């Protein structure tokens, strides 16, 4: 508002003089300069684009969303230990995005590779609110219990807010619509708007039993930015996917699929992957974790898939089941470079994927 008043008064004054053309040039420069200063002072982003950073946490997950409104959402925090390696990589992504605080940290579930890095992260950058599916349900795994206890200790400090969300709830973000699809073992009961069609890919998927770990309790969400749809289901398991997608597809089609469970065979059924028919899939696998050949095959054979991107070359996949090197942020080799992938999206549904290793960007036009 201050910038608007300044520009208006300056223009009115100069129109009374002889140098209208010069005054208007000065006016435009002044308006842009003041608006830029005002925007910076308020901490507002300069673009109307969504930024998504797929941070390399060596086979865990850490996906940072930064909205045009300047709000940030981090889905999971990677591993503990390693001298704070994963927390440092997340903070580096935040710095690149121009933010100095993470507004929301969504913990999909309480396994070590998803929540383990949280204490180190909060020691390095301010965090506002934690989002989760509720209490940990897995009592038999020591690492999971340690991660859950560390999370409880952070909450006990009183420094952070906590939101526990259920299917159908909305994520509290400005400029990015997030709908919870799965949480604590429960799923949305009805199809999302525009979804609900019979899913022909169900016949490609056998039925599988569930497990008693935290995986099927993952908090999964569909994130919509204008016409662009991004799906992240954490480590949701095959049986839960079948309940979401069969006999009708409750999710609909998506543009970007963050490959469930790092591309492990416990998740990523044809009913899900072929049913959502993504344009692009991004697999947050590590060299030695994720990228199972059977899961990789399902993603690659999904109808309408244009590209699969991987954070790492998968040793399990070998020479036959890895994408070309230009689509792998961290190729085969001993170096622990921590290269990331960055998505930049517009509301018309177009987006770019940038590889920090190659410095190349691939553009995907609006569909």
Contact 64, 97 (CB under 8 A): yes
With cut-offs at 50, 70 and 90, classify the pLDDT of residue 104.
very high
**Calpha distance 95→103 (Å, rounded):** 14
Return the CATH number of the domain spanning residue range 50-364: 3.60.15.10
Backbone φ and ψ for 334, nearest 5 degrees, come out as: -80, -15
With cut-offs at 50, 70 and 90, classify the pLDDT of residue 47.
low
Q: What is the mean pLDDT of the chain?
A: 89
HEC-encoded secondary structure of 303-331: CCCCEEEEEECCCCCCCCCCCCHHHEEEC
Once rounded to an integer, what is the mean pLDDT over residues 91-113? Answer: 97
With cut-offs at 50, 70 and 90, classify the pLDDT of residue 9.
very low
Sole residue written with tokens 């910076």: 40
What share of the chain has pLDDT > 90, as a percent? 83
Once rounded to an integer, what is the mean pLDDT over residues 106-126? Answer: 97
127, exposed or middle or buried, with CB in 10 Å at 0-12, 13-18, 19+?
buried
Q: Whose CA is closest to 329, among 85, 65, 57, 50?
A: 57
Contact 106, 76 (CB under 8 A): yes
Reported as a single tens digit per residue, the pLDDT across 194-240 is: 999 999 999 999 999 988 899 999 999 999 999 999 999 999 999 99
pLDDT of 168 strictly over 50: yes
pLDDT of 21 strictly over 70: no
Once rounded to an integer, what is the mean pLDDT over residues 24-46? Answer: 41
Contact 124, 91 (CB under 8 A): yes
Contact 69, 357 (CB under 8 A): no
**Calpha distance 245→268 (Å, rounded):** 12
Alpha-carbon distances of 129 from 43, 72, 122, 161, 162, rounded to whole Å:
19, 11, 11, 5, 6
pLDDT of 19 strictly over 80: no
Q: What is the pLDDT of residue 39?
A: 41
More confident residue, 99 or 31: 99
Q: What is the pLDDT of residue 333?
A: 79
Contact 301, 269 (CB under 8 A): no
**Calpha distance 251→228 (Å, rounded):** 14
Non-local CB neighbours of 232 within 8 Å, separated by 6+ positions:
63, 75, 108, 220, 221, 223, 258
Once rounded to an integer, what is the mean pLDDT over residues 142-163? Answer: 97
Reported as a single tens digit per residue, the pLDDT across 62-75 is: 999 999 999 999 99
Reported as a single tens digit per residue, the pLDDT across 274-332 is: 999 999 999 999 999 999 999 999 999 999 999 999 999 999 999 999 999 999 999 98
pLDDT of 106 strictly over 60: yes
Map out the domains of the chain as residue ranges: 2-41, 50-364
14-18, 67-71, 148-152: least confidently modelled range: 14-18
Q: What is the pLDDT of residue 335?
A: 73
pLDDT of 36 strictly over 90: no
pLDDT of 27 strictly over 70: no
With cut-offs at 50, 70 and 90, classify the pLDDT of residue 367.
confident
Contact 244, 182 (CB under 8 A): yes
pTM: 0.87
**What sign has the CA pseudo-torsion 179, 306, 109, 187?**
positive
């Amino acid at each position: 508002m201050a910038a608007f008043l300044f520009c208006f008064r300056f223009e009115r004054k100069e129109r009374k003089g002889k140098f209208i053309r010069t005054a208007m040039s000065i006016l435009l420069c002044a308006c842009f300069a003041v608006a830029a200063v005002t925007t910076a002072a308020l901490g507002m982003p300069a673009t109307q684009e969504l930024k998504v950073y797929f941070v390399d946490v060596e086979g865990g997950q850490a996906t940072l969303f930064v909205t045009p409104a300047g709000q940030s959402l981090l889905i999971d925090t990677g591993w503990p230990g390693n001298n704070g390696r994963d927390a440092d990589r997340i903070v580096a992504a935040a710095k690149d995005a121009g933010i100095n605080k993470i507004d929301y940290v969504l913990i999909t579930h309480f396994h070590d590779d998803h929540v383990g890095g949280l204490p180190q992260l909060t020691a390095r950058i301010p965090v506002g609110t934690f989002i989760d599916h509720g209490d940990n349900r897995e009592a038999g795994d020591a690492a999971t219990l340690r991660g859950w206890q560390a999370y409880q200790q952070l909450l006990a400090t009183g420094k952070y807010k906590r939101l526990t969300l259920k299917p159908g709830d909305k994520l509290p973000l400005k400029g990015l619509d997030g709908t919870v699809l799965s949480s604590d073992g429960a799923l949305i009961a009805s199809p999302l708007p525009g979804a609900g069609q019979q899913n022909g890919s169900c016949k490609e998927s056998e039925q599988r039993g569930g497990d008693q770990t935290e995986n099927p309790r993952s908090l999964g969400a569909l994130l919509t930015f204008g016409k662009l749809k991004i799906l992240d289901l954490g480590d949701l398991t095959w049986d839960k996917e079948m309940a979401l997608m069969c006999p009708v597809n409750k999710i609909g089609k998506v543009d970007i699929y963050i490959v469930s469970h790092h591309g492990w065979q416990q998740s990523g059924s044809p009913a899900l992957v072929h049913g959502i028919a993504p344009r692009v899939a991004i697999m947050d696998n590590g060299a030695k974790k994720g990228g199972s050949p059977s899961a990789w095959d399902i993603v690659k054979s999904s109808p309408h898939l244009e590209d699969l991107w991987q954070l790492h070359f998968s040793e399990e996949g070998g020479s036959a089941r890895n994408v070309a090197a230009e689509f792998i942020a961290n190729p085969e080799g001993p170096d622990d470079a921590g290269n990331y992938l960055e998505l930049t999206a517009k509301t018309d549904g177009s987006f770019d994927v940038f590889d920090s290793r190659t410095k190349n960007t691939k553009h995907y036009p609006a569909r």
